[in-house]
Amino acid sequence: MLNTQSNPQQLIAHLTQLINQYPQEAMAYHVRGLAYYHQAAYSQAIADYEQAIRINPHFNEAYFSRANAYFDLGNYIQAIADYTRSILLSPSDAVAYSNRGNAYMQMG
């Protein structure tokens, strides 16, 4: 697979083709969302994470990634909700707990 850091536009194009062929492939939406996220295209990233979650409601990484995007947008309430969902799906994920704590701290 292509690296999201070296050529995100090429990765996005490749994943868009994959999604057109396999529209029910949640991982493809998630990875394309990561590519958008690394370009600070948060709304596009969130849209892809949401589609991945619609396809697979138990997709922990998609909740976590969407939480990160919400956090970076300053939407801490949504970030906390998604970190919490991620924790429910993967209770041993220490980073999700830490990030959720950071979101609470940002809220004051």
pLDDT in tens, 67-86: 999 999 999 999 999 999 99
Q: Which residues contact 63 (CB under 8 A, 6 or more apart)?
A: 49, 53, 82, 83, 85, 86, 89
Give tens-digit pLDDT for 3-17: 545 688 899 999 999
Query: Given this model, what pLDDT does residue 3 score?
Result: 52
Q: Quick one: which of 36, 40, 38 has its CA closest to 13?
A: 36
Helix axes 94-107, 60-72, angle to 10 degrees: 30
Give tens-digit pLDDT for 41-60: 999 999 999 999 999 999 99
Q: What is the dihedral of CA 84, 88, 91, 95, to 10 degrees?
A: -30
Whether the pTM exceeds 0.85: the reply is: yes
| Rg (alpha carbons) of the chain, rounded to whole number | 14
Query: Given this model, what pLDDT does residue 1 score?
Result: 45
Place of tokens 């309430």: 77
Separation between Cα atoms, residue 108 and residue 84, nearest integer Å: 18
Give tens-digit pLDDT for 83-107: 999 999 999 999 999 999 999 999 9
Residues 31-40, mean pLDDT to the nearest whole number: 97
Please state which architecture CATH assigns to domain 8-107: Alpha Horseshoe (1.25)
Q: Quick one: which of 83, 88, 78, 37 has its CA closest to 64?
A: 83
